[in-house]
Structures are given as structure tokens and as C-alpha cells.
């Protein structure tokens, strides 16, 4: 699509990027892709900090926000100091979209020294999103966790990923047991949900020059203490890496971890709506 008529096309493009960055959180909530690809996260984190073209750095920041990849928080925090205002705005919006409240202090420090009004607006919106995420609406217990695969080593990863990713849903507070959830919900007059997780599949395949690990998960949402099943959400993801880059078992294990994490994130795209419906 041609650029709008203007005496300075680069400035026009920059203004468009700034608007896109400040609205990133709204755009991300409409994402409906059923499959997450985890193979490029490392490259994106590198690009957001080192790419020579600022447009590449902007694109990398937006992509990391869309992935809700908490491992990118450090890189995005550093990108808040980028020389280019569009990159700083995109990094702030991405931190808000990821939704991890640990980024609040980074954003607040960046705001204190930021001179650009558009970037400050992006930072303010991100801070607002993270602060609102702290307001608990539902108490959630991560209950029964099942690993249906022949990969016992990923069980603990699946459990920890379930807990951390569900805890990042705005308005959700995760507790350690169903009893604790019920007790706290009663004291605070809040609804209570239990989530059971199943890792149903973890498979390896080769396609051309790439090795792929595919993972599938299933989350069952129950209302407690009634113990009534309210919804089931499923997610699947594929992590890819060039086969020549897989040097040892540790590389394969890391690829499996990427696939499991991305599959949980895929399933959780439908979880907020299902959880809200289950509380009614």
C-alpha cells in the first residue's frame, strides 16, 4: 500500500508507528491464532536491542508483546532507553500487553526521565494496564495436573507454566490449593474457580531442514466448591529449530520447553472468557 502523500514520508510512517504502539494492548486482545510458534523469541529479543534499523526494533517489540513472553521483560525494559521514540513507545506498550506486574517499576523509572509526550502516553497506558491487573476478581486454584505423554521430565515445567501464565491473566489470583481458594474467596466475597491441566501430546518430527516439537494441552475449568465443570479450553503449539542447530539433548529439551509453554499460552487465549462465564 503506498504511503500517504506528504513532504516527509518517514515522519508520517513514524507517527503511524507511535499510534500503533500506544494502542498495542487493545489490538492484542483480539488475537485469535490457535497455534503459537516459539522458535523466534531469542532472535526477537536480540533484534529489539541490536537491529540497526529502528523499524526492525519496533516490529520486534510489538511481536514480543503479542507473544506475552515474560522472558522478554528485561530486553523490553532496556528498549525503553532506545534513542528512537517509536521503539520506546512500542516497548512500553509491549510490557503492558505482557501483563506481568514486575514491569511496573521499570516503566515508572522510564516515565520519570521520558521527554517525548507520545512515549509518555504509551508508558502511562502500560502502567494503567498493569495496575488494573492487580485488582483481584477471581480466586483460582491450579488443581489436578496430568502429563499424558511419555516425557516425565516436562511435568514440573508444565505445572509451573500453568501457574505462572494463569497468574498473569488480569484479575486472577492463583492460590496453592482448592481449600485455600474456597477459604479466601469466602473471606473476600469473591468467586472461586479450579483449573485442571492436561498435557495430552508432545511429539517430535522433521520437516525439511527443521526439527519440530508439537505440544497439545487441555484445561478444565471447574466452579468450586460446587465442583461443576464449566468449560474446557485447548491449546496447541509447535516450536521449530534448524536441525543442524540441535547439538545435544539439552537443545532438544529446551525446544520441548518452548513448545509446552507456547501451548499453554495458546490455551489461555480462551481462558479469561471461560473463567468469567464460569463464575456466573
Q: Are residues 45 and 152 in the same domain?
A: no
Query: Could you report the per-residue pLDDT of 86-145, keeping only the tens digit for each?
Result: 999 999 999 998 888 788 889 999 999 999 999 999 999 998 888 776 678 888 998 889
Q: Does residue 118 sit in the same domain as residue 148?
A: no
Check residue 133 and give its pLDDT. Answer: 62
Q: Kindly state whether residues 103 and 166 are assigned to the same domain.
A: no
User: 77: alpha, beta or left, given left = phi > 0 and alpha = psi -120 to 50?
Assistant: alpha
Residue 181 has pLDDT above 60, yes or no: yes
**Which among 23, 25, 29 is positioned nearest to 269, based on CA atoms?**
29
Position 202 confidence tier, pLDDT thresholds 50, 70, 90: very high
Segment 164-175 shows an average pLDDT of 83
**Containing structural domain, residue 43:** 9-133
Number of domains, the chain: 2
| Phi, psi of 96, rounded to the nearest 5 degrees | -65, -40
The predicted model scores a pTM of: 0.55
- Residue 212's DSSP bridge partners are 205, 240
Q: 182 and 116 in one domain?
A: no
pLDDT in tens, 7-53: 343 444 444 444 444 434 333 333 333 333 334 678 899 999 999 99
Mean pLDDT of the chain: 82
Q: What is the mean pLDDT of residues 214-240?
A: 91
**Cα–Cα distance for residue pair 269/235, rounded to 1 Å:** 8
Do 29 and 125 belong together in one domain?
yes
Residues 149 and 201 sit within 8 Å (Cβ to Cβ): yes
Amino acid at each position: 500500500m503506498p504511503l500517504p502523500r506528504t513532504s516527509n514520508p518517514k515522519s508520517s510512517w513514524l507517527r503511524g508507528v507511535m499510534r500503533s504502539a500506544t494502542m498495542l494492548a487493545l489490538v492484542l486482545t483480539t488475537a485469535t491464532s490457535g497455534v503459537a510458534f516459539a522458535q523466534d523469541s531469542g532472535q526477537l529479543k536480540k533484534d529489539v536491542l541490536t537491529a540497526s534499523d529502528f523499524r526492525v526494533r519496533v516490529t520486534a517489540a510489538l511481536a514480543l508483546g503479542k507473544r506475552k513472553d515474560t522472558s522478554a521483560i528485561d530486553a523490553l525494559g532496556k528498549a525503553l532507553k532506545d534513542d528512537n521514540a517509536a521503539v520506546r513507545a512500542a516497548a512500553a506498550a509491549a510490557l503492558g500487553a505482557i501483563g506481568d506486574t514486575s514491569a511496573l517499576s521499570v516503566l515508572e523509572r522510564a516515565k520519570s526521565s521520558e521527554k517525548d509526550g507520545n512515549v509518555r502516553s504509551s508508558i502511562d497506558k502500560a502502567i494503567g494496564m498493569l495496575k488494573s491487573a492487580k485488582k483481584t476478581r477471581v480466586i483460582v486454584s491450579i488443581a489436578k495436573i496430568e502429563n499424558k505423554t511419555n516425557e516425565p521430565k516436562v511435568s514440573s515445567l508444565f505445572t509451573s507454566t500453568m501457574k505462572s501464565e494463569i497468574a498473569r491473566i488480569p484479575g486472577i489470583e492463583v492460590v496453592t490449593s482448592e481449600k485455600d481458594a474456597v477459604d479466601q474467596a469466602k473471606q473476600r466475597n469473591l468467586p472461586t474457580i479450579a483449573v485442571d491441566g492436561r498435557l495430552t501430546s508432545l511429539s517430535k518430527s522433521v520437516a525439511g531442514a527443521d526439527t519440530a516439537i508439537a505440544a497439545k494441552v487441555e484445561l478444565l475449568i471447574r466452579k468450586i466448591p460446587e465442583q461443576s465443570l464449566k468449560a474446557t479450553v485447548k491449546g496447541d503449539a509447535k516450536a521449530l529449530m534448524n536441525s543442524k542447530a540441535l547439538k545435544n539433548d539439552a537443545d532438544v529439551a529446551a525446544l520441548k520447553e518452548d513448545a509446552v509453554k507456547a501451548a499453554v499460552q495458546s490455551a489461555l487465549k480462551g481462558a479469561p472468557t471461560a473463567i468469567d462465564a464460569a463464575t456466573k
